[in-house]
Amino acid sequence: MAVSELLSGKLLYEFRTIGAMVEIYCRAHHPLKPSKGVCVSCQEFLTYAETRLDRCPYGQGKPTCNKCPVHCYKPHMKQKAREIMLYSGPRMLLPHPIMAIKHLLAERQPAPGKPPEGVSNRHLRKLS
Ligand code: SF4
Ligand SMILES: [Zn+2]
C-alpha cells in the first residue's frame, strides 16, 4: 500500500487509491520492475501525485481530479494519470472493492467552481 507522511484524511485515502491503481498498471505494463513496489517511472508518478494532493487548493474537500477545473498536473503526468485510470479503474473492483466504489461515487459528483487564486490546502491544515 502506498505510504505518505504528507497526507491525512481524504487526501491520504485518495493517495492510497491512486497507489493501488498504479500497482495494477505497473504490474501489467512494466514487468521488469523490482519484485516489490512499482518501477522507477511509476514511483515518480506516485510522488508527483502525492505532492499535487498535498498542494491541492481544495484541500480535504477536493473533487475528483478528473472533474477539476484547475487541472494542476503537468501535461505528461496528466496523460499518465489518464492511462493508469483507464487501465486500472475497471480492474480495481476485485482486489479493492471499497476503494473502487468510493472512486466511482466521487466521479459522479458535479465539478466544483475554481478556488480563489493562489490557495493551497496548507492553510486549511489546522481546520482538518
Ligand atoms: S487541483 Fe484539481 S487536479 Fe490538482 S490535485 Fe486538486 S483536484 Fe486534483
Ligand atoms: Zn511501472
DSSP state string for 42-93: HHHHHHHHHHHHHH-TTGGG---GGG-SS--S-HHHHHHHHHHHHHHGGGST
Answer yes or no: is 17 within a domain.
yes
Q: What is the pLDDT of residue 126?
A: 43
Nearest CA to ligand 1 atom 8: 65
- State the distance from the centre of ligand 2 to the C-alpha of 18, rounded, in angstroms: 13
* Boundaries of domain holding 110: 9-127
Q: What is the pLDDT of residue 127?
A: 43
CB of 65 shorter than 6 A to ligand 1: yes
Answer yes or no: is 96 within a domain.
yes
Ligand 1 pocket mutation pick from 11, 67, 68, 82 by most atoms within 8 angstroms of CB = 68
Ligand 1 pocket mutation pick from 65, 74, 80 by most atoms within 8 angstroms of CB = 65
Give the integer Cα–Cα distance in Å for 13 and 25: 18
Answer yes or no: is 93 within a domain.
yes
CB of 71 shorter than 6 A to ligand 1: yes
3-state secondary structure 110-128: CCCCCCCCCCCHHHHHHHC
- State the distance from the centre of ligand 2 to the C-alpha of 45, rounded, in angstroms: 9
Answer yes or no: is 3 within a domain.
no
Q: What is the pLDDT of residue 71?
A: 87
Q: What is the pLDDT of residue 121?
A: 63
The domain total for the chain is: 1
Please report, in tens digits, the pLDDT of each residue of the chain (128 residues total).
788 888 999 999 999 999 999 999 999 999 886 667 899 999 999 999 999 999 999 999 999 998 899 889 999 999 999 999 999 999 999 999 999 999 999 888 888 888 877 666 654 554 44
